[in-house]
Amino acid sequence: MRDAAFLRELRRVAEGSTLVASVCTGSLLLAASGLLDGVPATTNKRVFATIRAAFPKADWRPRARWVESGKFVTASGISAGTDMALALIAKLYGRDRALEIAKRAEYRWSEDPSDDPFAAE
């Protein structure tokens, strides 16, 4: 997160992309590059307060498994990232396709991004 050249390249690639997704603390890199300034986002709950304090320009959402805001989609943790990935598949290819993939993976998909049992009160 302190590698200026990497952050510039991340920003360049993200600005040219139609969809940018991060899982867990990957949102830290997006925030460090300035891409999440003013953008609703989430991150892993174990480091949430630290990341929010370090990057206060992002609109951090403490109660969310994932947050979709325009082309940016951030997930709070690893299993939330799987839920987010399935939501993106549903958005791009239809809910039936996402359900089929979840079933093949023997994964119980949580389709509600606000259903976050790990959020601190």
Average of pLDDT values for 9-38? Answer: 96
66 is a catalytic site residue: no
pLDDT tens string 48-72: 999 999 999 999 999 999 999 999 9
Residue ranges and CATH numbers for the domains of the chain are 4-77 (3.40.50.880)
3-class DSSP string for the chain: CCCHHHHHHHHHHHHCCCCEEEECCHHHHHHHCCCCECCEECCCHHHHHHHHHHCCCEEECCCCCEEEECCEEEECCHHHHHHHHHHHHHHHHCHHHHHHHHHHCCCCCCCCCCCCCCCCC
Instruction: Tell me the whole-structure pTM to 2 decimals.
Output: 0.91
Residue in 20, 24, 29, 64 annotated catalytic: 24
Strands 66-69 and 72-75: antiparallel
pLDDT tens string 62-111: 999 999 999 999 999 999 999 999 999 999 999 999 999 999 999 999 99
